[in-house]
Amino acid sequence: MEMETRPTKVGVLPCSGESEPEGTITRNAVRLVMEKYRPGLVVSLCLPLYLAGDGGERDFAKKVPVIAVDGCPKSCARLATEKYSGPVEASIDVRALLEQWGVTESLSRSHPGPIEDELAERVAREIVRLVDGLVEEGKVEVANV
């Protein structure tokens, strides 16, 4: 009889889009989650590599719960995951979040400053909230978060 094993990682797939400042925020927020907030638990997936079909990214995304982090409603990260690996566990639309937070400042995609950094921190904390939710639901096996 085969034992069912729960995944020990959460995959996070940012759009990291070049065309909009929110893409840069997704990129930086996911790095914060990986390096600062939930190191060892979260694995980032490289969307260009994922789309190219190399590097085992698609197979990995089939085995772990995936959170898609998109910069805008085009939802490149979520739609790519659904196409190649199956449904995502959760998704974030950063632009919608910024609207919800009342952010009206003009943002830079190439030179993030204090405002962009702060927004990346806030988005990172949103991702952490979703990651912790998956842990609480028992979808990920983890000793200590």
Partner 1 sequence: MTDKDTRPDAADVVVLPCSGLDKEAGSASRELALRLQERGAALVCPVLYQRSPKRYEKPLSSGRLVVIDGCKTGCASKLAAERGLKLTDRLNVSEAARSRGVKPGKDPHLGAALEELLPSMVDELLEVRAPEDRAAAASELFAAPVEYREFGVDKFVFRVPVAGYFFNENDCWARVAGGRARVGVSDYVQQSASDMVFFEPPAVGAEVSIFDEVGSLETTKTALDIISPVSGKVVAVNAEVVEAPELINQDPYERGWAVELELTDFDSDRELLMDSAAYFEYLQGKAAREHEELYGG
Residue ranges in contact with partner 1 by CB under 8 A: 14-19, 23, 27, 30-31, 44-49, 51-52, 54-55, 74, 76-77, 79-80, 109-110
Based on CB atoms, which residue is closest to partner 1, 27 or 95? 27
Whether the Cβ atoms of residue 64 and residue 7 lie closer than 8 Å to each other: yes
Least distance (Å) between residue 138 CB and partner 1 = 28
12 strand-pairing partners? 44, 67
Based on CB atoms, which residue is closest to partner 1, 8 or 19? 19
Question: DSSP letter at 64?
Answer: S
Based on CB atoms, which residue is closest to partner 1, 9 or 139? 9
Question: DSSP letter at 124?
Answer: H
What's the CA dihedral at 73, 76, 77, 83 to 10 degrees?
120
